[in-house]
Amino acid sequence: KEKARVSCSLPQPSWEERLANAVTPLWRLPYQEQLQVKYESQRKILQTLASRLEELGIDAQKPGGLCCPLQPVVPSPIINGYRNKSTFSVNRGPDGNPKTVGLYVGTGRGRNIVCVKANHVENIPSKHKQVAQCYEEFICRSPLASCILFHEGGHWRELVVRTTSSGHTMAIITFHPQQLGQEALATQKALLKEFFTCGPGAVCALTSLYFQESTMTRCSHEQSPYQLLHGAPHIFEELLGLKFRISPDAFFQVNTAGAEVLYQAVGELCQATGDTVLLDICCGTGTIGLSLAHQVSKVIGVEVVEKAIEDAEWNAAFNGISNCEFHSGKAEAVLPQLLASWEDARPLVAVVNPSRAGLHYRVVRAIRNCSSIRRLLYISCKPEGEAMRNFLELCCPPDPRKKLSGEPFAPMLAIPFDLFPHTVHCELVLLFTR
């Protein structure tokens, strides 16, 4: 006789658990174990870099097969609810509600995306969850559909919430106008403002409410201006004793307390003296350069986001810092011109903090070919990605075919900073010298 089959399948995790596993994979581990996991992943990255450098004929093997010494991961001062910026999507939830405001489980490629409320995600502060819940309540009341696929119509799209340690809250709502006229758009903006100022959303006590009409997946202020519906145009944060103004799309480290620890260490690693010039590439609102301005004779910042440069200049003036200049534009366009004619005798130290896409080759080449730069700090949130290409470009032998004539750099020290507790990511600072 055929034996009876006994099913002992494990219970499926809840949607909340599945979201937590996707967004914060280390959330079940005690924090010290999280730091150890991250240390091991950074160690493997430095081993990979050492191997890649060996392939280029560069003897980079240090103890443990690393390209340079690796310090322990510097912990975050805040472990839960540390994010000062969260982006919430609008899509179908587990119950089929197409106006669920939350974070994604699943992938577009797998066509299995479900939008799950972020109430149980540990790195998101309660204020962000409150604003997301209120936005969901608003769009559920609205007769307009959510915009899940552009070509299928619908209007309500993602929500960005930004907060500061002083209690400021900015909400930015993205809306697809489809075929709506200006009068209909004005009605929706008025309803949104009323909801968050006089209606149920008033509980959020928003400092700033922005609205952006966007027909693209991602849209800059230049492509489609952020429209201020209520409150102040900026929120303000304090960091290392300085006050910083933040615009809707300006880059600011997502973990403010962790950023303070990171920037203090960067200041020490720069070994800047009173006559040093600090080159702050991808400077955002100027946080790194301004926090180190008291150590150096001059700070030169370069940033592609025009509004961020406006913030940086305001930040410098407000804090009484007069030795900073900021340049707006793509680093690959601005930096080669800036360094090609560099004749300043003062020591020049570069700090680069690019996005996950890394630095454009022309930026690396300009740094390599400027003999005044002897010390470079590369801050990367994803060193195993495009940053790895930059590391190799900084350290490879000169190549006349690529117009790379400058002396190569060598990695000297790596320090990981845990700016993203509960996730697998951390911020790696790599010190290069030549």
Active-site residues: which are they?
Answer: 381
Residue 253 among known ligand-binding residues: yes
HEC profile for the chain?
Answer: CCCCCCCCCCCCCCHHHHHHHHHCCCCCCCHHHHHHHHHHHHHHHHHHHHHHHHHCCCCCCCHHHCCCCECCCECCCCCCCCCCEEEEEEECCCCCCCCEEEEEECCCCCCCCEEECCCCCCCCCHHHHHHHHHHHHHHHHCCCCECCCHHHCCCEEEEEEEECCCCCEEEEEEECCCCCCHHHHHHHHHHHHHHHHCCHHHHHCCCEEEEEECCCCCCCCCCCCCEEEEECCCEEEEECCEEEEECCCCCCCCCHHHHHHHHHHHHHHHCCCCCCEEEEECCCCCHHHHHHHHHCCEEEEEECCHHHHHHHHHHHHHCCCCCEEEEECCHHHHHHHHHHCCCCCCCEEEEECCCCCCCCHHHHHHHHCCCCEEEEEEEECCCCCHHHHHHHHHHCCCEHHHCECCCCCEEEEEEEECCCCCCCCCEEEEEEEC
Residue 123 among known ligand-binding residues: no
Lookup: tokens for 314: 């305001």
Residue 353 among known ligand-binding residues: yes
Q: Which residue numbers belong to the known binding site?
A: 253, 303, 353
Q: Which residue numbers belong to the known binding site for S-adenosyl-L-methionine?
A: 253, 303, 353
